[in-house]
Amino acid sequence: MNPAPRHLRWAMPAAAALMAAACAAPKPKSPPPPPAPPVLDASYDWHVLLAAPFGSVLKDIPMSVHEVLVFRDEERAGAPADDSECYAVNGAAPRFITRSPSLYMLCFKHERLARIEATVRLPDGQAAQIFADACALWTKNAHAPGSQSCEGADGGTVFAAHIEKTPDETDTQLTIQLEAADPASDHPAETAPDRAPNR
């Protein structure tokens, strides 16, 4: 009797067992996906600060306001004179980054809304991360670089924000300025509108 077929009968089950073991071996795990960005409150969006479209006249602002004097700091002392007339709101300002702004101003040039400025106070230990999250949202960049400033544009609006630790304070200030991207939007109307600083 020829022994070759008997050896072949033993070899085939052994090969099948090896193949099954190889298939059953666990595959190397792929690295986990990066964590999803945090879901931010709607008040992180700077659009909440737009009380009215740029170019609006004062009487069309849906808020009661009063005129304020604006003093330029030393860094801006050499800048060209700013002939804007600025107003603060009487009452609560729009919430920004889940906080009530300590400063909220609407500034007009040639009777037209040209700039909006707001400041909120952030806890020192959280200010950098809060600002980074907000900047990532504003710039639509999930990996916004850690910085103390953030700039960009959206549609007809240019924004510039920064954080600053004020002396003798236990918190950090975040200030943002919104301006019309098109200078024509703050050109004076042919007929100057009536102004109503207190409504």
Average the pLDDT over 162-189 and give the result.
79
Q: With CA atoms as reference, report the closest residue to 164 among 125, 112, 127, 134.
A: 127
At residue 38, the pLDDT reads: 63
27: Cα within 13 Å, side-chain hemisphere: 4
| 3 state SS of 184 | helix
Mean pLDDT score across all residues of the chain: 79
At residue 173, the pLDDT reads: 95
Average the pLDDT over 151-165 and give the result.
93
pLDDT in tens, 44-97: 999 999 999 999 999 999 999 999 987 665 555 454 556 789 999 999 999 999
At residue 190, the pLDDT reads: 41
pLDDT in tens, 113-124: 999 999 999 998
- The full 3-state SS of 92-158, as one line of letters, equals CCCCECCECCCEEEEEEECCEEEEEEEEEEEEHHHHHHHHHHHHHHHHCCCCCCCCCEEEEEECCEE
Does the pLDDT value for residue 10 go beyond 90? no
Does the pLDDT value for residue 136 go beyond 60? yes
**Eight-class DSSP state of 44:** G
The encoded tokens of residue 182 equal: 């098109």
* pTM, full prediction: 0.69
pLDDT in tens, 181-194: 875 544 544 433 44
- For the chain, the structural domain boundaries read 44-186
Average the pLDDT over 175-179 and give the result.
97
At residue 193, the pLDDT reads: 40
Does the pLDDT value for residue 99 go beyond 90? yes
